Structure 1
């Protein structure tokens, strides 16, 4: 069966939807060839069960999700096609076709007439919208398309984008009919930039348009070929992915033996699936460490040991709080440089990770965090449970940006009210939408307790734990502290029992509630609030003993330059020009209570008005 004549033309080509590529590429020879029965490969080596073969008589959609994948896959795909028989290639870009013919095998195929080339004309999509595929096919057949050609359309996105559902359905029926008539594969190639989340559902829903759908995407130094649906020698495959490696010698991709399955990828097989690489500190003092585990001494050794891992498990000790930075960077590096099938487990061994540190590690790429309370036997079971998992979270390529949302302000302890409000709002804004829960507590100071004594009794040891005071109480902001943990956190922060300092407590752990609790504090700022920074810096803390209710200390004169401090009654002086306030008795009196009075803070009236 004759191939199309591709000799150079001396005159302008007739008007049409396609321009023959022969007038801008090397001259080709006329040659008669018979349709080849040789199976056509997919441009990737070593795929099992016939996955690497393109089926005839049905449409095939091949999607390159990124530029790296497109640059490696499609030239190899066309090389495999011309090795099996004559090929008709419809390209959307002349520079792309020029670059394609720089490859010796394709240049030789073009010169021999086994590769025919066309370019899509700008008005083709409008014709497809009005009439479907017949105008395109008529133009191809008029200028050289033969029944024995394999037909490749690259980039098909420009041909199909913008069509309505009804127009896509018509094209789908026409394409299906065309494939049944042809002896060799019909392939639609899709190039980046594109949106696989939009394209793939459309192809899935139009079954006649594409019964076979495969997507190639780069993953660190490897690639993954995902089959949405594909028929193989072993039966139909759905949502199955194969790990690939780049062979520098041949400049082609080859299967690495890794297979995953499902929308949330579950590992089916991999050469190193059962391997565990652990730091010595993560298993220190444990009995029954499996003999096949690889134990390394340092984080640097672990990074080297995991440099070629595909689906192994990496076990990292969490260390102390000061070690977080090095662990976080290693987790991020491993996740970006290794396939998603690598499992990264962080185990608490010396101290407890803060909630935001745990969430940050998960966001940076850790598969899970194992708490200190979990025994070693349970750890072994957990590693077995996650053995088939693949990482599904998106990881930001920039470490600093990925970590920033999870970290508190680098401030702790007492802050002037204005600074306190700004810091709290900043942390709320930065962590919004990532699942971190913070808490704001308003503690109303007992009438006989000076504010300074209440503030001095609070010791903060962690960034992001802040406190301030207004005329009536103390505000405590706890970064990444959930509501059930608030009481324990407060008892940890204060050196005196809360009932000896405060009459009541209002807590909120929602974004809206915290902002509402800040509103009265912000309003009080306009009337004037004292700043206790200098007094807290220059005066010693009181001993951890309950103050005598009847012996309230008198306020001492303020030195020059020092803010006015509240009197012993616990009430700060009124703002200049305001009327004196009457002291309102607290409900139940100032007696010591067994537990603080906890309640939601939004909406709430002023605690002083609740008497």
Structure 2
């Protein structure tokens, strides 16, 4: 009698993933490559335990059986008992639905599968009806009753890549019929094994284990970390309290903990962090200086290490642009520490984060994140039609990283000539563009948060804005910007507005950001050049996450101009 056999993951705690006789254990696979590796390892474990029957469906199932047979070689000669392969037909689920699961059990019994055979079913989703709920429950009831009379473990491997079919919620509703349920996911260069429930385990905690894939033999093993999948908290990892900082991050500061490891540069840090699991790495950002090297390093580390690795970026001499800060958050940093925060506070923050897990969505493609964070290569006045097109392109591209912008409508005072108001606008920063209808100027500020609009307007105009406009109406969200741009486009189509391009164009350079990166823009673009100094939107908040007002803000210039409490930051989890 074979009482217990392990899943196909090496190095798990002794009480985790034991497939017991008399029960059907289920492994839900949501990553193709890891699923194949785990299934092969599980099949080897089952084979070492004694007689084994493998059932697989489809073409991939045939390939799996062939790979497993080749992997045995001469090693299998001393194993006890027969090895039986079955290929499940494409109409198996329909036949079982019509004739019942007992017909399936009878057929494999006739083919030589006894109560003493361990049983591994690859692509097990093919033998269940996932649409008919009542039939689905009946089938799992039949599996429970059949397994109870067996003297060897059963493992059903069910494939649902990226959760596309929604099998997990269905299985979660059957705790009595599916007592052993684990989920295998790919994650940041490795994998995650989540124990949804298992006989003998605490039902209130979903234990989760970090996995690493061997490049040599394609085997899966634990990286020694354990987390609570529900609370996204690290229970244990061998390097959980380890901190590695770049030399520039701690240069000239007092109170650096003696146990911290200081890396001379990013190359040195990458070598030190080669096998890092849940350590904290502290990087420096000096404004936009060498930002591309920093951002690529962040993306590389997040993509190749578990989510339990903490990545913190600290501003040193100069501040980061808002869009670069948001890009780093999307590429995988846990936290941005602004230069105003004292180093003693940084140490406290790191100590409190040792059990955290990175849980935000991250951008898998580095260049897509870069493109989303960059404005179109254009600035200054544009005709209404081109203005609408360029704003639309920047909104579409930056929505993948939730980058916030502001659209401001400025009603012109009746005593001010429209051309005078336009000539007073000094927008030269890339992505800052403006146009006009019959009564107002429309100003789009790329990567400018609502709380920064007032100070930016003061710098953008060569005369006080109170002498030009009666108020300013701010559209602080993409939804409101879309609405205004669509209305402006329709108005221009119905009654073409005046184009001042020939008057406002001057042949002086636009101020570009120091960190240049290639970007993708939609449609042809036109560069309008102004002679005025550029605007610079600077982030000064100490908090990362604040609520954002989803409303249109109208501010008459005669009233005190103060940002509301909800206009602090647009960064969100």
Q: Normalising by structure 1, what TM-score? A: 0.76
Residue pair 1:466, 1:476 contacting (<8 A) in 2 also: yes
SS of corresponding position for 2:166? helix
Q: Cα deviation per residue 1:300-358 (whole Å; 9 max; x = unaligned)?
A: 33333323211111212222235433322222111111111111112222333333332
Kept after mapping to 1: 8 A contact 2:245/2:263: yes
User: Is 1:173 equivalent to 2:141 in the alignment?
Assistant: yes
Change beyond 3 A, Cα 1:452–1:106: farther
Counterpart-to-counterpart distance in 2, 1:504 and 1:68: 59
Question: What pairs with 1:92-171 in structure 2 (closer than 5 Å)?
Answer: 92=57, 93-104=61-72, 108=76, 113-171=81-139
Q: For residues 580-604 of structure 1, what are the alpha-carbon distances to aligned partners after superposition, in whole Å with 9 as ceiling and x for unaligned?
A: xxxxxxxxxxxx95768999xxxxx
Contact 2:205 2:230 in 1 (8 A): no
Cα 1:322–1:502 change in 2 (3 A) is: farther
Cα 1:49–1:598 shift into 2, 3 Å: closer
Structure 2 partner of 1:28: none
Which residue in the other structure is 2:410 paired with?
443
With over 3 angstroms needed to count, the CA separation of the structure-2 counterparts of 1:214 and 1:380, relative to structure 1, is same
* SS of match in other structure, 1:321: coil
Kindly provide the CA deviation profile for residues 175-231 of structure 1, in whole angstroms up to 9, marking residues without a partner as x: 111121111111111236462771222111112332111222333443322211123
SS at match of 2:14: coil
Which residue, 31, 47, 72 being the options, matches 2:12? 47
Deviation string, structure 1 residues 342-399 (Cα, Å, up to 9, x no partner): 1111222233333333222211111121222222222222222322121223333221
Q: Contact 1:82/1:106 (CA < 8 Å) preserved in 2?
A: no
Give 1:424's aligned residue: 391
The whole-number CA distance in structure 2 between the counterparts of 1:193 and 1:235 is 27
- 1:61 aligned to 2:26? yes
Larger CA deviation: 310-319 vs 440-449: 440-449
Check the 8 A contact 2:118/2:153 in 1, yes or no. yes
1:301 equivalent to 2:268? Answer yes
Task: Name the residue aligned to 1:198.
Answer: 166
Question: In structure 2, the residue corresponding to 1:484 is in which secondary structure?
Answer: helix
What is the distance in 2 between the residues matched to 1:213 and 1:598?
51
Going from structure 1 to structure 2, the CA distance change for 1:524 and 1:90 (only over 3 Å counts) comes to closer
- Which residue number corresponds to residue 229 of structure 1? 197
SS at match of 1:44: coil
Superposed, 1:385-400 pairs within 5 Å as: 385-400=352-367
Q: Is 2:280–2:310's contact at 8 Å kept on the other side of the alignment?
A: yes
Instruction: Work out the CA distance in 1 between the residues paired with 2:26 and 2:164.
Output: 12
Give the Cα–Cα distance (whole angstroms) in 2 for the partners of residues 119 and 515 of structure 1.
Answer: 55
- When normalised by structure 2's length, the TM-score is 0.81
The residue that corresponds to 2:237 in the other structure is 270
Quick one: structure 1 residues 203 and 107, their matched pair in 2 at CA, closer, same or farther if it must change by over 3 Å? farther
Q: Which residue of 2 aligns with 1:381?
A: 348
Instruction: Please name the residue that 2:184 is paired with.
Output: 216
Q: Is the 8 A contact 2:327 2:401 kept in 1?
A: no
TM-superposed CA distance for 1:107, in Å, is: 7.5
Q: Retained in 2: the 8 A contact 1:468–1:474?
A: yes
Query: Considering only aligned residues, what root-mean-square deviation do their CA atoms show, in Å?
Result: 3.1
Matched, 1:503 2:503: no
SS in 1 for 2:308: coil
| 3-state secondary structure, aligned to 1:405 | helix
For 1:288 and 1:195, the matched residues in 2 are separated by: 47
Q: CA deviation at 1:52?
A: 4.3
* Alignment partner, residue 326 of structure 2: 359
- What's the offset of the Cα at 1:148? 1.1
Matched, 1:325 2:292: yes
CA distance in 2, matches of 1:207, 1:106: 41
Alpha-carbon distance change, 377 to 529 in structure 1, aligned in 2, over 3 angstroms: same
Distance of 1:305 and 1:111 partners within structure 2:
43
Q: Highest CA radius of gyration, 1 or 2? A: 1
Matched residue of 1:421: which SS? helix
Determine whether 1:411 maps to 2:411. Answer: no
Q: Quote the residue 2:315 is aligned against.
A: 348
> Displacement, 1:104?
2.3
Determine the structure 1 residue equivalent to 2:525: none
Map Cα deviations across residues 24-78 of structure 1 (whole Å, 9 max, x no partner). xxxxxxxxxxx345x3222222211321422222210012322221232111111
Q: Is the Cα–Cα contact under 8 Å of residues 2 and 21 in structure 2 kept in the other structure?
A: no
Aligned counterpart, 2:521? none
The equivalent of 1:466 in structure 2 is 433
Q: Secondary structure at the match of 2:235?
A: strand
**Cross-structure match for 1:529:** 498
How far off its partner does 1:137 sit? 0.7
Structure 1 residues 332, 425: closer, same or farther in 2, change over 3 A? same
Distance 1:128 1:439, change over 3 A: same
Superposition deviation, residue 271 in structure 1: 1.2
> Deviation of residue 538 (structure 1)?
6.1
- 2: CA distance between counterparts of 1:251 and 1:593? 69
**CA distance in 1: counterparts of 2:113 and 2:74, whole angstroms:** 18
Three-state SS of the structure 2 residue aligned to 1:63 is strand
CA contact (8 A) 2:182 2:195 kept: yes
Q: Is the 8 A contact 1:45 1:52 kept in 2?
A: no
CA–CA distance in structure 1, aligned partners of residues 99 and 425 of structure 2:
77
Question: 1:420 & 1:43 partners in 2: Cα distance?
Answer: 58
Of residues 424-433 and 530-539 in structure 1, the stretch that sits farther from structure 2 once superposed is: 530-539
Deviation at 1:109, TM superposition (A): 5.8
Change (3 A) 1:340 1:470: same
In 1, are the aligned partners of 2:54 and 2:122 still within 8 Å (CA)?
Answer: yes
Alignment partner of 1:428: what SS? helix
